[in-house]
Structure 1
Amino acid sequence: MTNLGLNVVTLAFANGECGSENWGAGTTISNVVSIINTLVAAKKKYIISTGGENGVFTCSSDANFLKFIKTYQSAYLIGIDFDIETSQTRAQVDSLVLRTKNAQATYPNLRYSFTVSSFAKSTGGDPFSWLGGQVLNSIKVNGLTNYLINPMTMCYTELSQCVVSGGTCDMGASANQVAKNLHDYYSIPYSKIEVTPMIGGNCFPKAQGYIFTLNDVATVSNFAKANGLAGVHFWSLERDNDCPPGAAYWLCNTYGVAGLFGFTKKFLTYFQ
Protein backbone atom coordinates (compact mmCIF):
# COMPACT_ATOMS: atom_id res chain seq x y z
CA MET A 1 0.00 0.00 0.00
CA THR A 2 2.75 2.46 0.87
CA ASN A 3 4.75 1.61 -2.28
CA LEU A 4 2.02 2.21 -4.87
CA GLY A 5 2.48 5.93 -5.25
CA LEU A 6 -0.85 6.73 -3.61
CA ASN A 7 -0.73 9.89 -1.55
CA VAL A 8 -4.06 9.36 0.24
CA VAL A 9 -5.97 6.26 1.36
CA THR A 10 -9.28 5.86 3.17
CA LEU A 11 -9.56 3.49 6.13
CA ALA A 12 -13.07 2.04 6.42
CA PHE A 13 -15.32 1.55 8.37
CA ALA A 14 -15.73 2.63 11.98
CA ASN A 15 -19.18 1.82 13.38
CA GLY A 16 -21.20 2.10 16.55
CA GLU A 17 -21.20 5.14 18.83
CA CYS A 18 -18.29 7.55 18.51
CA GLY A 19 -15.81 7.24 21.34
CA SER A 20 -16.59 3.55 21.77
CA GLU A 21 -16.63 2.60 18.08
CA ASN A 22 -15.73 -0.74 16.53
CA TRP A 23 -14.26 -1.73 13.17
CA GLY A 24 -15.83 -5.15 12.68
CA ALA A 25 -14.42 -8.39 11.24
CA GLY A 26 -12.03 -8.83 14.15
CA THR A 27 -10.29 -5.50 13.50
CA THR A 28 -9.51 -3.59 16.68
CA ILE A 29 -8.80 0.08 17.21
CA SER A 30 -5.21 -0.93 17.95
CA ASN A 31 -5.03 -2.62 14.53
CA VAL A 32 -6.20 0.58 12.86
CA VAL A 33 -3.75 2.72 14.82
CA SER A 34 -0.96 0.35 13.76
CA ILE A 35 -1.92 0.86 10.10
CA ILE A 36 -1.95 4.60 10.69
CA ASN A 37 1.54 4.44 12.17
CA THR A 38 2.73 2.67 9.02
CA LEU A 39 1.13 5.35 6.85
CA VAL A 40 2.64 8.14 8.92
CA ALA A 41 6.10 6.57 8.72
CA ALA A 42 5.70 6.52 4.92
CA LYS A 43 4.36 10.12 4.96
CA LYS A 44 1.03 9.03 3.46
CA LYS A 45 -2.18 10.94 4.15
CA TYR A 46 -5.36 9.17 5.20
CA ILE A 47 -9.10 9.62 5.76
CA ILE A 48 -11.12 7.83 8.43
CA SER A 49 -14.46 6.60 7.11
CA THR A 50 -17.49 5.57 9.14
CA GLY A 51 -20.69 3.66 8.48
CA GLY A 52 -20.76 1.75 5.20
CA GLU A 53 -23.20 -0.67 3.63
CA ASN A 54 -23.46 -2.93 6.65
CA GLY A 55 -22.96 -0.52 9.52
CA VAL A 56 -24.27 2.54 11.28
CA PHE A 57 -22.10 5.18 12.92
CA THR A 58 -23.71 7.45 15.49
CA CYS A 59 -22.43 10.30 17.60
CA SER A 60 -24.50 11.86 20.35
CA SER A 61 -21.97 14.21 21.95
CA ASP A 62 -19.32 16.68 20.86
CA ALA A 63 -16.92 15.37 23.49
CA ASN A 64 -17.06 11.83 22.15
CA PHE A 65 -16.67 12.98 18.55
CA LEU A 66 -13.52 14.88 19.51
CA LYS A 67 -12.35 11.74 21.31
CA PHE A 68 -13.03 9.75 18.13
CA ILE A 69 -10.97 12.10 15.97
CA LYS A 70 -8.15 12.26 18.50
CA THR A 71 -7.86 8.45 18.51
CA TYR A 72 -6.80 8.48 14.85
CA GLN A 73 -5.26 11.94 14.67
CA SER A 74 -1.81 12.72 13.30
CA ALA A 75 -0.29 15.32 11.03
CA TYR A 76 -1.32 13.06 8.11
CA LEU A 77 -5.02 12.76 8.95
CA ILE A 78 -6.80 14.91 6.38
CA GLY A 79 -10.45 14.05 6.83
CA ILE A 80 -13.44 12.26 8.31
CA ASP A 81 -16.02 10.61 6.06
CA PHE A 82 -19.58 9.60 6.91
CA ASP A 83 -20.73 6.79 4.62
CA ILE A 84 -24.49 6.79 5.18
CA GLU A 85 -26.14 3.84 3.47
CA THR A 86 -28.55 2.23 5.92
CA SER A 87 -31.76 3.39 7.57
CA GLN A 88 -30.37 6.03 9.88
CA THR A 89 -32.97 8.29 11.42
CA ARG A 90 -33.24 12.00 10.78
CA ALA A 91 -32.10 12.60 14.36
CA GLN A 92 -28.98 10.46 13.85
CA VAL A 93 -28.09 12.28 10.63
CA ASP A 94 -28.69 15.66 12.28
CA SER A 95 -26.42 14.62 15.13
CA LEU A 96 -23.57 13.73 12.75
CA VAL A 97 -23.94 17.06 10.98
CA LEU A 98 -23.95 18.99 14.26
CA ARG A 99 -20.93 17.07 15.58
CA THR A 100 -19.12 17.93 12.35
CA LYS A 101 -20.03 21.61 12.56
CA ASN A 102 -18.89 21.90 16.17
CA ALA A 103 -15.68 19.88 15.70
CA GLN A 104 -14.43 22.33 13.11
CA ALA A 105 -13.49 24.78 15.85
CA THR A 106 -10.95 22.22 17.09
CA TYR A 107 -10.04 20.65 13.74
CA PRO A 108 -10.60 23.41 11.16
CA ASN A 109 -8.22 21.96 8.57
CA LEU A 110 -9.86 18.56 8.20
CA ARG A 111 -12.15 17.76 5.27
CA TYR A 112 -15.58 16.42 6.26
CA SER A 113 -17.39 14.35 3.63
CA PHE A 114 -20.78 12.68 3.41
CA THR A 115 -20.93 9.60 1.18
CA VAL A 116 -24.34 8.49 -0.12
CA SER A 117 -25.74 6.31 -2.88
CA SER A 118 -26.85 7.97 -6.11
CA PHE A 119 -28.64 7.63 -9.43
CA ALA A 120 -27.28 8.83 -12.76
CA LYS A 121 -30.37 9.70 -14.76
CA SER A 122 -29.33 11.06 -18.14
CA THR A 123 -32.42 13.30 -18.11
CA GLY A 124 -31.13 15.15 -15.04
CA GLY A 125 -33.00 15.78 -11.81
CA ASP A 126 -32.37 14.70 -8.23
CA PRO A 127 -29.52 12.14 -8.12
CA PHE A 128 -30.38 10.98 -4.58
CA SER A 129 -32.90 8.82 -2.79
CA TRP A 130 -34.69 10.10 0.31
CA LEU A 131 -31.62 9.37 2.44
CA GLY A 132 -29.26 11.47 0.35
CA GLY A 133 -31.84 14.23 0.31
CA GLN A 134 -32.11 13.99 4.08
CA VAL A 135 -28.36 14.42 4.45
CA LEU A 136 -28.34 17.53 2.26
CA ASN A 137 -31.36 18.97 4.07
CA SER A 138 -29.66 18.45 7.43
CA ILE A 139 -26.52 20.20 6.17
CA LYS A 140 -28.64 23.16 5.07
CA VAL A 141 -30.87 23.36 8.16
CA ASN A 142 -27.96 23.06 10.59
CA GLY A 143 -25.81 25.61 8.80
CA LEU A 144 -22.85 23.39 7.94
CA THR A 145 -20.72 25.12 5.31
CA ASN A 146 -17.41 23.20 5.40
CA TYR A 147 -18.44 19.89 3.85
CA LEU A 148 -18.07 17.66 0.78
CA ILE A 149 -20.70 15.45 -0.86
CA ASN A 150 -19.38 12.16 -2.18
CA PRO A 151 -21.95 10.21 -4.24
CA MET A 152 -21.25 6.52 -4.75
CA THR A 153 -21.53 6.06 -8.50
CA MET A 154 -22.02 2.32 -8.51
CA CYS A 155 -24.36 -0.67 -8.30
CA TYR A 156 -27.25 0.68 -10.38
CA THR A 157 -30.08 -1.85 -10.29
CA GLU A 158 -31.90 -0.66 -13.43
CA LEU A 159 -30.88 0.89 -16.73
CA SER A 160 -33.16 3.83 -15.91
CA GLN A 161 -30.74 4.74 -13.10
CA CYS A 162 -27.67 5.24 -15.31
CA VAL A 163 -26.38 6.54 -18.62
CA VAL A 164 -26.92 3.77 -21.17
CA SER A 165 -24.58 2.94 -24.05
CA GLY A 166 -24.84 -0.20 -26.14
CA GLY A 167 -27.63 -1.56 -23.97
CA THR A 168 -25.66 -1.42 -20.72
CA CYS A 169 -24.72 1.10 -18.05
CA ASP A 170 -21.79 3.27 -19.10
CA MET A 171 -20.21 3.53 -15.67
CA GLY A 172 -17.78 6.34 -16.48
CA ALA A 173 -20.41 8.54 -18.12
CA SER A 174 -22.79 7.70 -15.27
CA ALA A 175 -20.32 8.91 -12.64
CA ASN A 176 -19.96 12.20 -14.48
CA GLN A 177 -23.75 12.49 -14.87
CA VAL A 178 -24.24 12.13 -11.11
CA ALA A 179 -21.84 15.00 -10.49
CA LYS A 180 -23.64 17.12 -13.11
CA ASN A 181 -27.07 16.37 -11.67
CA LEU A 182 -25.92 17.08 -8.12
CA HIS A 183 -24.41 20.38 -9.22
CA ASP A 184 -27.46 21.42 -11.24
CA TYR A 185 -30.31 20.18 -9.02
CA TYR A 186 -28.94 21.31 -5.65
CA SER A 187 -26.74 24.20 -6.87
CA ILE A 188 -23.74 22.65 -5.15
CA PRO A 189 -20.38 23.84 -6.51
CA TYR A 190 -18.24 21.20 -8.19
CA SER A 191 -15.55 22.09 -5.65
CA LYS A 192 -17.76 20.46 -2.98
CA ILE A 193 -18.48 17.32 -5.01
CA GLU A 194 -16.48 14.08 -5.12
CA VAL A 195 -17.32 10.76 -6.78
CA THR A 196 -16.63 7.15 -5.83
CA PRO A 197 -17.01 4.54 -8.58
CA MET A 198 -16.66 0.80 -7.98
CA ILE A 199 -13.84 -0.54 -10.13
CA GLY A 200 -14.46 -3.52 -12.38
CA GLY A 201 -17.65 -5.51 -11.96
CA ASN A 202 -20.44 -3.81 -10.03
CA CYS A 203 -23.21 -5.35 -7.92
CA PHE A 204 -25.87 -5.65 -10.62
CA PRO A 205 -26.90 -7.60 -12.61
CA LYS A 206 -26.08 -10.31 -10.10
CA ALA A 207 -24.49 -12.81 -12.49
CA GLN A 208 -22.22 -10.20 -14.07
CA GLY A 209 -22.37 -6.61 -12.92
CA TYR A 210 -22.04 -3.53 -15.10
CA ILE A 211 -18.33 -2.88 -15.65
CA PHE A 212 -16.28 0.16 -14.69
CA THR A 213 -13.36 -0.24 -17.10
CA LEU A 214 -9.88 1.23 -17.40
CA ASN A 215 -11.28 3.52 -20.10
CA ASP A 216 -13.82 4.77 -17.56
CA VAL A 217 -10.90 5.88 -15.38
CA ALA A 218 -9.97 8.34 -18.12
CA THR A 219 -13.58 9.48 -18.55
CA VAL A 220 -14.04 10.24 -14.86
CA SER A 221 -10.57 11.66 -14.26
CA ASN A 222 -10.74 14.07 -17.18
CA PHE A 223 -14.18 15.31 -16.10
CA ALA A 224 -13.04 15.73 -12.49
CA LYS A 225 -10.01 17.76 -13.48
CA ALA A 226 -11.87 19.88 -16.02
CA ASN A 227 -14.63 20.78 -13.56
CA GLY A 228 -12.57 21.08 -10.39
CA LEU A 229 -14.16 18.24 -8.42
CA ALA A 230 -13.02 17.93 -4.83
CA GLY A 231 -11.82 14.38 -5.31
CA VAL A 232 -12.11 10.99 -6.96
CA HIS A 233 -12.08 7.81 -4.87
CA PHE A 234 -12.70 4.20 -5.84
CA TRP A 235 -14.01 1.07 -4.18
CA SER A 236 -11.63 -0.43 -3.40
CA LEU A 237 -7.88 -0.92 -3.18
CA GLU A 238 -8.60 -4.40 -1.84
CA ARG A 239 -10.47 -5.23 -5.07
CA ASP A 240 -7.75 -3.93 -7.38
CA ASN A 241 -6.57 -7.30 -8.61
CA ASP A 242 -7.90 -9.50 -11.37
CA CYS A 243 -10.36 -12.35 -11.25
CA PRO A 244 -12.62 -13.71 -14.01
CA PRO A 245 -15.87 -11.91 -14.91
CA GLY A 246 -18.82 -12.93 -12.77
CA ALA A 247 -20.74 -11.84 -9.71
CA ALA A 248 -19.16 -8.94 -7.81
CA TYR A 249 -16.66 -10.03 -5.18
CA TRP A 250 -15.09 -8.03 -2.38
CA LEU A 251 -11.52 -9.33 -2.88
CA CYS A 252 -11.10 -8.86 -6.66
CA ASN A 253 -12.49 -6.85 -9.55
CA THR A 254 -14.34 -9.47 -11.70
CA TYR A 255 -12.95 -7.54 -14.67
CA GLY A 256 -9.93 -9.67 -15.31
CA VAL A 257 -7.76 -7.55 -17.58
CA ALA A 258 -6.48 -4.64 -15.47
CA GLY A 259 -3.54 -6.39 -13.84
CA LEU A 260 -2.52 -6.14 -10.20
CA PHE A 261 -3.33 -2.59 -9.00
CA GLY A 262 -4.14 -1.72 -12.61
CA PHE A 263 -6.90 0.73 -11.68
CA THR A 264 -4.71 2.40 -9.07
CA LYS A 265 -1.92 2.86 -11.59
CA LYS A 266 -4.34 4.23 -14.20
CA PHE A 267 -5.84 6.78 -11.79
CA LEU A 268 -2.36 7.87 -10.75
CA THR A 269 -1.54 8.86 -14.32
CA TYR A 270 -4.16 11.61 -13.89
CA PHE A 271 -3.71 12.58 -10.26
CA GLN A 272 0.00 12.62 -9.50
Structure 2
Amino acid sequence: MIPKGVTPADDQIAADIFGLSVGYWQDKKFWEKIRGLKLLNREGSRRRIYSKEQLLAARAQEERAKAVNEQPRYDLPPVPVGEHPDDLLDLEESLLALPESRRVTLPTWRSYRYGKKTRLPDPDFILGGKKVDGEVVGGEDFWRRQTILDWDENRPDRGNPTGRPVGVQESGPRQPSQRAEERRERARQLLAEHPTTLTAKMLGEDLGVHPVHAERILRAARLERVVSLLKGNPDLTAEDVQRETGLHVTSHARKLLDQAREAGADAQ
Protein backbone atom coordinates (compact mmCIF):
# COMPACT_ATOMS: atom_id res chain seq x y z
CA MET A 1 0.00 0.00 0.00
CA ILE A 2 1.13 3.52 -0.79
CA PRO A 3 -0.22 5.74 2.00
CA LYS A 4 -1.73 9.12 1.25
CA GLY A 5 0.92 11.83 1.18
CA VAL A 6 3.74 9.52 0.10
CA THR A 7 5.35 9.84 -3.33
CA PRO A 8 5.99 6.26 -4.53
CA ALA A 9 9.33 5.27 -6.03
CA ASP A 10 10.50 1.99 -7.53
CA ASP A 11 14.02 0.57 -7.91
CA GLN A 12 14.72 2.72 -10.97
CA ILE A 13 13.80 5.96 -9.20
CA ALA A 14 15.74 4.90 -6.10
CA ALA A 15 18.84 4.12 -8.15
CA ASP A 16 18.59 7.47 -9.93
CA ILE A 17 18.42 9.32 -6.60
CA PHE A 18 21.61 7.63 -5.42
CA GLY A 19 23.39 7.99 -8.76
CA LEU A 20 23.58 4.25 -9.37
CA SER A 21 22.51 1.92 -12.12
CA VAL A 22 19.34 0.02 -11.29
CA GLY A 23 21.22 -3.28 -11.72
CA TYR A 24 23.84 -2.24 -9.16
CA TRP A 25 21.14 -1.03 -6.74
CA GLN A 26 19.40 -4.40 -6.97
CA ASP A 27 22.53 -6.58 -6.89
CA LYS A 28 23.89 -4.87 -3.77
CA LYS A 29 20.43 -4.60 -2.14
CA PHE A 30 21.06 -0.99 -1.23
CA TRP A 31 17.63 -0.65 0.37
CA GLU A 32 18.81 -2.95 3.16
CA LYS A 33 21.72 -0.60 3.95
CA ILE A 34 19.47 2.38 4.71
CA ARG A 35 18.33 2.05 8.29
CA GLY A 36 14.67 2.96 8.69
CA LEU A 37 13.81 2.79 4.98
CA LYS A 38 10.35 1.28 4.74
CA LEU A 39 9.23 -0.98 1.90
CA LEU A 40 5.65 -0.13 0.93
CA ASN A 41 4.90 -3.13 -1.28
CA ARG A 42 3.05 -6.10 0.15
CA GLU A 43 4.92 -9.37 0.49
CA GLY A 44 4.88 -11.28 -2.76
CA SER A 45 4.41 -8.28 -5.04
CA ARG A 46 6.63 -8.08 -8.08
CA ARG A 47 7.95 -4.55 -7.51
CA ARG A 48 9.70 -2.94 -4.54
CA ILE A 49 8.14 0.38 -3.60
CA TYR A 50 9.69 3.08 -1.45
CA SER A 51 8.80 6.51 -0.15
CA LYS A 52 10.58 8.99 -2.40
CA GLU A 53 10.67 11.41 0.54
CA GLN A 54 12.59 8.85 2.59
CA LEU A 55 15.00 8.15 -0.26
CA LEU A 56 15.75 11.84 -0.79
CA ALA A 57 16.32 12.35 2.93
CA ALA A 58 18.65 9.35 3.08
CA ARG A 59 20.64 10.58 0.09
CA ALA A 60 21.01 14.07 1.58
CA GLN A 61 22.15 12.63 4.91
CA GLU A 62 24.70 10.41 3.18
CA GLU A 63 26.13 13.42 1.35
CA ARG A 64 26.40 15.42 4.59
CA ALA A 65 28.08 12.52 6.39
CA LYS A 66 30.50 12.01 3.53
CA ALA A 67 31.52 15.67 3.66
CA VAL A 68 32.67 15.32 7.30
CA ASN A 69 33.93 11.75 6.93
CA GLU A 70 31.32 10.20 9.20
CA GLN A 71 28.83 7.39 8.94
CA PRO A 72 25.34 8.65 8.04
CA ARG A 73 22.79 8.74 10.85
CA TYR A 74 19.60 8.10 8.99
CA ASP A 75 16.74 10.21 10.29
CA LEU A 76 14.02 9.55 7.75
CA PRO A 77 10.55 11.10 7.60
CA PRO A 78 7.90 8.71 8.94
CA VAL A 79 5.51 6.89 6.64
CA PRO A 80 1.85 7.47 7.58
CA VAL A 81 0.03 4.56 9.18
CA GLY A 82 -3.65 3.66 9.21
CA GLU A 83 -6.15 3.73 6.37
CA HIS A 84 -7.16 6.72 4.27
CA PRO A 85 -9.54 7.00 1.29
CA ASP A 86 -6.64 8.26 -0.85
CA ASP A 87 -4.26 5.38 -0.10
CA LEU A 88 -3.10 3.71 -3.31
CA LEU A 89 -3.66 -0.05 -3.45
CA ASP A 90 -2.41 -2.64 -5.91
CA LEU A 91 -4.76 -5.16 -7.47
CA GLU A 92 -4.68 -7.69 -4.63
CA GLU A 93 -4.83 -5.01 -1.92
CA SER A 94 -7.85 -3.52 -3.66
CA LEU A 95 -9.71 -6.78 -3.26
CA LEU A 96 -8.83 -6.92 0.44
CA ALA A 97 -10.13 -3.36 0.88
CA LEU A 98 -13.67 -4.64 0.30
CA PRO A 99 -15.85 -5.97 3.10
CA GLU A 100 -15.29 -9.71 3.38
CA SER A 101 -18.87 -10.42 2.30
CA ARG A 102 -18.23 -8.56 -0.97
CA ARG A 103 -14.97 -10.24 -1.93
CA VAL A 104 -14.66 -12.65 -4.83
CA THR A 105 -11.78 -15.05 -5.40
CA LEU A 106 -8.47 -13.54 -6.45
CA PRO A 107 -8.56 -15.13 -9.96
CA THR A 108 -12.06 -13.69 -10.48
CA TRP A 109 -10.89 -10.29 -9.25
CA ARG A 110 -7.97 -10.37 -11.66
CA SER A 111 -10.40 -11.14 -14.48
CA TYR A 112 -12.25 -7.91 -13.61
CA ARG A 113 -9.17 -5.87 -14.52
CA TYR A 114 -9.89 -6.21 -18.24
CA GLY A 115 -13.35 -7.77 -18.07
CA LYS A 116 -16.15 -6.96 -20.45
CA LYS A 117 -19.17 -7.54 -18.22
CA THR A 118 -17.65 -6.71 -14.85
CA ARG A 119 -14.69 -4.39 -15.13
CA LEU A 120 -12.70 -2.50 -12.55
CA PRO A 121 -12.39 1.26 -12.93
CA ASP A 122 -9.30 2.69 -14.59
CA PRO A 123 -6.27 2.79 -12.28
CA ASP A 124 -5.66 6.09 -10.52
CA PHE A 125 -1.88 5.68 -10.77
CA ILE A 126 0.65 3.58 -12.68
CA LEU A 127 4.11 3.09 -11.19
CA GLY A 128 7.04 2.42 -13.50
CA GLY A 129 6.82 1.20 -17.06
CA LYS A 130 7.31 3.24 -20.20
CA LYS A 131 5.01 4.79 -22.74
CA VAL A 132 4.72 3.20 -26.17
CA ASP A 133 2.16 4.68 -28.57
CA GLY A 134 0.43 6.41 -25.67
CA GLU A 135 0.16 3.24 -23.55
CA VAL A 136 2.14 2.54 -20.38
CA VAL A 137 3.83 -0.84 -20.76
CA GLY A 138 5.35 -2.77 -17.87
CA GLY A 139 4.00 -0.56 -15.09
CA GLU A 140 1.96 -1.56 -12.05
CA ASP A 141 -1.61 -0.38 -11.53
CA PHE A 142 -2.88 1.23 -8.34
CA TRP A 143 -6.32 2.37 -7.28
CA ARG A 144 -7.31 4.79 -4.54
CA ARG A 145 -9.11 3.01 -1.73
CA GLN A 146 -12.15 5.24 -2.24
CA THR A 147 -12.21 4.51 -5.98
CA ILE A 148 -12.60 0.78 -5.28
CA LEU A 149 -15.16 1.29 -2.52
CA ASP A 150 -17.25 3.60 -4.73
CA TRP A 151 -17.08 1.10 -7.59
CA ASP A 152 -18.11 -1.76 -5.31
CA GLU A 153 -21.00 0.25 -3.89
CA ASN A 154 -22.52 0.39 -7.39
CA ARG A 155 -21.84 -3.30 -8.10
CA PRO A 156 -25.01 -5.41 -7.65
CA ASP A 157 -24.95 -7.96 -4.86
CA ARG A 158 -24.61 -11.53 -6.03
CA GLY A 159 -28.16 -12.83 -6.14
CA ASN A 160 -29.64 -9.36 -5.74
CA PRO A 161 -32.96 -9.30 -7.62
CA THR A 162 -32.13 -5.82 -8.93
CA GLY A 163 -29.16 -7.28 -10.80
CA ARG A 164 -29.16 -9.65 -13.77
CA PRO A 165 -30.02 -13.22 -12.68
CA VAL A 166 -27.17 -15.70 -12.71
CA GLY A 167 -26.80 -17.38 -16.10
CA VAL A 168 -28.94 -14.82 -17.93
CA GLN A 169 -27.08 -12.85 -20.55
CA GLU A 170 -27.87 -9.30 -21.49
CA SER A 171 -30.02 -8.96 -24.59
CA GLY A 172 -27.58 -6.48 -26.09
CA PRO A 173 -24.55 -4.33 -25.28
CA ARG A 174 -24.97 -1.71 -22.61
CA GLN A 175 -25.48 1.75 -24.03
CA PRO A 176 -22.86 4.34 -23.08
CA SER A 177 -23.98 7.30 -21.03
CA GLN A 178 -24.45 10.65 -22.73
CA ARG A 179 -21.27 11.94 -21.12
CA ALA A 180 -19.28 8.92 -22.33
CA GLU A 181 -20.62 9.30 -25.85
CA GLU A 182 -19.73 13.00 -25.85
CA ARG A 183 -16.16 12.08 -24.90
CA ARG A 184 -15.98 9.47 -27.66
CA GLU A 185 -17.26 11.97 -30.21
CA ARG A 186 -14.68 14.53 -29.11
CA ALA A 187 -11.95 11.90 -29.43
CA ARG A 188 -13.12 11.10 -32.97
CA GLN A 189 -13.03 14.78 -33.84
CA LEU A 190 -9.54 15.34 -32.45
CA LEU A 191 -8.21 12.19 -34.12
CA ALA A 192 -9.57 13.37 -37.46
CA GLU A 193 -7.98 16.79 -36.97
CA HIS A 194 -4.65 15.54 -35.60
CA PRO A 195 -4.28 11.92 -36.74
CA THR A 196 -0.49 11.72 -36.30
CA THR A 197 0.04 13.95 -33.27
CA LEU A 198 -2.87 13.25 -30.91
CA THR A 199 -1.72 11.57 -27.69
CA ALA A 200 -3.61 10.20 -24.69
CA LYS A 201 -2.14 13.00 -22.58
CA MET A 202 -3.49 15.64 -24.96
CA LEU A 203 -6.86 13.93 -25.11
CA GLY A 204 -7.02 13.55 -21.34
CA GLU A 205 -6.31 17.25 -20.84
CA ASP A 206 -8.98 18.17 -23.38
CA LEU A 207 -11.60 15.85 -21.85
CA GLY A 208 -10.60 16.40 -18.25
CA VAL A 209 -10.12 12.69 -17.55
CA HIS A 210 -7.28 10.56 -16.17
CA PRO A 211 -4.63 9.73 -18.81
CA VAL A 212 -5.32 5.99 -18.46
CA HIS A 213 -9.00 6.60 -19.21
CA ALA A 214 -8.00 8.82 -22.13
CA GLU A 215 -5.80 6.02 -23.54
CA ARG A 216 -8.81 3.70 -23.60
CA ILE A 217 -10.96 6.30 -25.36
CA LEU A 218 -8.20 6.99 -27.88
CA ARG A 219 -7.77 3.26 -28.62
CA ALA A 220 -11.49 2.99 -29.31
CA ALA A 221 -11.40 6.04 -31.60
CA ARG A 222 -8.44 4.62 -33.51
CA LEU A 223 -10.22 1.29 -33.93
CA GLU A 224 -13.34 3.02 -35.27
CA ARG A 225 -11.16 5.03 -37.64
CA VAL A 226 -9.51 1.91 -39.07
CA VAL A 227 -12.85 0.06 -39.37
CA SER A 228 -14.13 3.02 -41.39
CA LEU A 229 -11.03 3.08 -43.58
CA LEU A 230 -11.35 -0.65 -44.29
CA LYS A 231 -14.81 -0.13 -45.74
CA GLY A 232 -13.31 2.07 -48.44
CA ASN A 233 -10.08 0.14 -48.81
CA PRO A 234 -10.13 -3.60 -47.96
CA ASP A 235 -6.41 -3.77 -48.84
CA LEU A 236 -5.45 -1.35 -46.07
CA THR A 237 -1.91 -1.99 -44.79
CA ALA A 238 -0.26 -1.53 -41.41
CA GLU A 239 1.69 1.39 -42.89
CA ASP A 240 -1.62 3.03 -43.86
CA VAL A 241 -2.86 2.52 -40.30
CA GLN A 242 0.28 4.14 -38.88
CA ARG A 243 -0.18 7.13 -41.15
CA GLU A 244 -3.85 7.53 -40.23
CA THR A 245 -3.61 6.95 -36.47
CA GLY A 246 -0.16 8.12 -35.43
CA LEU A 247 0.99 4.71 -34.16
CA HIS A 248 4.77 4.47 -34.35
CA VAL A 249 5.26 0.73 -33.80
CA THR A 250 4.36 -1.36 -36.84
CA SER A 251 3.32 -4.38 -34.75
CA HIS A 252 0.81 -2.19 -32.89
CA ALA A 253 -0.61 -1.00 -36.20
CA ARG A 254 -0.93 -4.60 -37.43
CA LYS A 255 -2.73 -5.57 -34.23
CA LEU A 256 -5.12 -2.65 -34.61
CA LEU A 257 -5.72 -3.59 -38.25
CA ASP A 258 -6.51 -7.20 -37.27
CA GLN A 259 -8.92 -5.99 -34.59
CA ALA A 260 -10.61 -3.70 -37.10
CA ARG A 261 -11.06 -6.56 -39.57
CA GLU A 262 -12.60 -8.72 -36.83
CA ALA A 263 -14.90 -5.88 -35.78
CA GLY A 264 -15.93 -5.30 -39.38
CA ALA A 265 -16.64 -9.00 -39.88
CA ASP A 266 -18.72 -9.18 -36.69
CA ALA A 267 -20.79 -6.22 -37.83
CA GLN A 268 -21.75 -7.91 -41.10
TM-score, structure 1 as length reference: 0.21
TM-score, structure 2 as length reference: 0.22
Q: Which has the higher helix share?
A: 2
